[in-house]
Homo-oligomer: A and B are copies of this chain.
Amino acid sequence: MFSKACEYGIRASIFIAEQSLIDRKVSLKDVAEAIDSPAAYTSKILQKLSRNNIINSDKGPTGGFSMGKKELEKVKLGSIVFAIDGESIYNGCGLGLKKCNEKMPCPVHNQFKMIRDQLKKMLETTTVLSLAVDYEKGFSFLKR
Protein backbone atom coordinates (compact mmCIF):
# COMPACT_ATOMS: atom_id res chain seq x y z
CA MET A 1 0.00 0.00 0.00
CA PHE A 2 2.65 2.50 1.06
CA SER A 3 6.38 2.38 0.34
CA LYS A 4 8.67 1.20 3.11
CA ALA A 5 10.00 4.75 3.31
CA CYS A 6 6.48 5.97 3.98
CA GLU A 7 5.89 3.34 6.65
CA TYR A 8 9.07 4.44 8.42
CA GLY A 9 8.01 8.05 8.01
CA ILE A 10 4.66 7.51 9.68
CA ARG A 11 6.12 5.46 12.50
CA ALA A 12 8.87 8.01 13.08
CA SER A 13 6.39 10.88 13.12
CA ILE A 14 4.24 9.17 15.72
CA PHE A 15 7.24 8.57 17.94
CA ILE A 16 8.53 12.12 17.56
CA ALA A 17 5.04 13.46 18.26
CA GLU A 18 4.68 11.36 21.39
CA GLN A 19 8.04 12.50 22.73
CA SER A 20 7.20 16.10 21.91
CA LEU A 21 4.07 15.75 24.03
CA ILE A 22 6.37 15.35 27.02
CA ASP A 23 8.74 18.07 25.73
CA ARG A 24 11.51 15.83 24.55
CA LYS A 25 13.64 16.23 21.47
CA VAL A 26 14.82 12.93 20.06
CA SER A 27 17.96 12.04 18.15
CA LEU A 28 18.10 10.07 14.93
CA LYS A 29 19.38 7.13 16.95
CA ASP A 30 16.43 7.40 19.35
CA VAL A 31 14.01 7.31 16.45
CA ALA A 32 15.68 4.39 14.70
CA GLU A 33 15.68 2.38 17.90
CA ALA A 34 12.10 3.25 18.79
CA ILE A 35 10.71 2.19 15.45
CA ASP A 36 13.32 -0.47 14.65
CA SER A 37 14.47 1.00 11.35
CA PRO A 38 17.85 1.47 9.62
CA ALA A 39 19.21 4.74 11.00
CA ALA A 40 20.85 6.16 7.88
CA TYR A 41 17.82 5.46 5.75
CA THR A 42 15.52 6.87 8.37
CA SER A 43 17.65 10.00 8.33
CA LYS A 44 16.79 10.61 4.67
CA ILE A 45 13.12 10.25 5.43
CA LEU A 46 13.26 12.64 8.38
CA GLN A 47 14.99 15.17 6.13
CA LYS A 48 12.07 14.98 3.76
CA LEU A 49 9.56 15.41 6.58
CA SER A 50 11.56 18.33 7.91
CA ARG A 51 11.65 20.06 4.51
CA ASN A 52 7.88 19.61 4.36
CA ASN A 53 7.46 21.28 7.74
CA ILE A 54 6.02 18.18 9.31
CA ILE A 55 8.76 17.93 11.92
CA ASN A 56 11.48 20.27 13.21
CA SER A 57 15.13 19.39 13.19
CA ASP A 58 17.86 21.13 15.15
CA LYS A 59 21.57 20.64 14.68
CA GLY A 60 24.32 20.58 17.23
CA PRO A 61 24.41 19.32 20.81
CA THR A 62 20.92 19.39 22.34
CA GLY A 63 19.67 19.13 18.78
CA GLY A 64 17.30 16.52 17.46
CA PHE A 65 13.84 16.10 16.02
CA SER A 66 10.61 17.44 17.45
CA MET A 67 7.15 18.72 16.67
CA GLY A 68 5.75 22.04 17.88
CA LYS A 69 2.28 22.41 19.36
CA LYS A 70 0.94 23.86 16.13
CA GLU A 71 2.31 21.03 14.03
CA LEU A 72 1.01 18.49 16.51
CA GLU A 73 -2.50 19.76 16.06
CA LYS A 74 -2.29 20.31 12.35
CA VAL A 75 -0.44 17.34 10.88
CA LYS A 76 -2.59 14.57 9.45
CA LEU A 77 -1.48 11.15 8.24
CA GLY A 78 -2.14 12.31 4.71
CA SER A 79 0.49 15.06 4.92
CA ILE A 80 3.14 12.48 5.69
CA VAL A 81 2.04 10.10 2.95
CA PHE A 82 1.94 12.95 0.46
CA ALA A 83 5.40 14.21 1.48
CA ILE A 84 6.97 10.80 0.95
CA ASP A 85 4.91 8.86 -1.61
CA GLY A 86 3.39 11.79 -3.46
CA GLU A 87 -0.12 11.87 -4.79
CA SER A 88 -0.11 8.41 -6.36
CA ILE A 89 -2.35 7.08 -3.59
CA TYR A 90 -4.99 9.63 -4.50
CA ASN A 91 -4.73 9.87 -8.27
CA GLY A 92 -3.14 6.66 -9.49
CA CYS A 93 -5.26 4.16 -11.41
CA GLY A 94 -5.69 0.81 -9.68
CA LEU A 95 -4.57 -0.96 -12.84
CA GLY A 96 -1.72 1.40 -13.67
CA LEU A 97 -3.31 3.22 -16.61
CA LYS A 98 -2.00 6.71 -17.34
CA LYS A 99 -5.34 8.13 -18.35
CA CYS A 100 -8.08 6.60 -16.27
CA ASN A 101 -11.08 8.74 -15.38
CA GLU A 102 -14.86 8.83 -15.46
CA LYS A 103 -14.86 9.28 -19.23
CA MET A 104 -12.32 6.54 -19.93
CA PRO A 105 -12.31 4.31 -16.88
CA CYS A 106 -10.31 1.16 -16.36
CA PRO A 107 -12.47 -1.90 -15.70
CA VAL A 108 -12.23 -1.53 -11.92
CA HIS A 109 -12.39 2.25 -11.79
CA ASN A 110 -15.59 2.53 -9.77
CA GLN A 111 -14.79 -0.33 -7.44
CA PHE A 112 -11.46 1.26 -6.59
CA LYS A 113 -12.85 4.75 -6.33
CA MET A 114 -15.00 3.70 -3.40
CA ILE A 115 -12.07 2.32 -1.50
CA ARG A 116 -9.70 5.06 -2.46
CA ASP A 117 -12.15 7.70 -1.28
CA GLN A 118 -12.45 5.98 2.08
CA LEU A 119 -8.68 5.79 2.39
CA LYS A 120 -8.35 9.42 1.43
CA LYS A 121 -10.90 10.47 4.01
CA MET A 122 -9.18 8.44 6.68
CA LEU A 123 -5.77 9.91 5.86
CA GLU A 124 -7.13 13.43 5.82
CA THR A 125 -8.94 13.17 9.15
CA THR A 126 -6.52 11.13 11.24
CA THR A 127 -4.14 13.35 13.19
CA VAL A 128 -0.68 12.24 14.19
CA LEU A 129 -1.49 13.68 17.60
CA SER A 130 -4.34 11.25 18.19
CA LEU A 131 -2.10 8.34 17.19
CA ALA A 132 0.67 9.62 19.44
CA VAL A 133 -1.70 9.84 22.41
CA ASP A 134 -2.80 6.23 21.93
CA TYR A 135 0.80 5.15 21.58
CA GLU A 136 1.74 7.05 24.71
CA LYS A 137 -0.98 5.25 26.64
CA GLY A 138 0.43 1.91 25.53
CA PHE A 139 -2.54 1.11 23.31
CA SER A 140 -0.38 0.64 20.21
CA PHE A 141 3.14 -0.27 19.16
CA LEU A 142 5.79 0.91 16.72
CA LYS A 143 8.04 -2.12 16.32
CA ARG A 144 8.07 -5.92 15.88
Question: What is the oligomeric copy number?
Answer: 2
Interface contact A115-B114, CB-CB below 8 Å: no
Interface contact B144-A131, CB-CB below 8 Å: no
Instruction: Count residues on chain A whose CB falls below 8 Å from chain B CBs.
Output: 41
A82 at interface (Cβ–Cβ under 8 A)? no
User: Which residues of A does B touch, CB under 8 Å?
Assistant: 1-2, 4, 7-8, 10-11, 14, 77, 92, 94-100, 104-109, 111-112, 114-115, 118-119, 122, 126, 131-132, 134-135, 139-144
A97 to chain B, nearest CB (A): 6
Give bound CA distance, A98 to B144, whole Å: 5
Q: Which of A96, A99, A109, A135 has the most CB of B within 10 A?
A: A96
Interface contact B108-A131, CB-CB below 8 Å: yes
Partner pick for A94 among B1, B111, B114, B118, CB 8 A cutoff: B1
Closest 3 pairs between A and B when the two form their complex, measured CB to CB: A7-B96, A107-B131, A107-B140
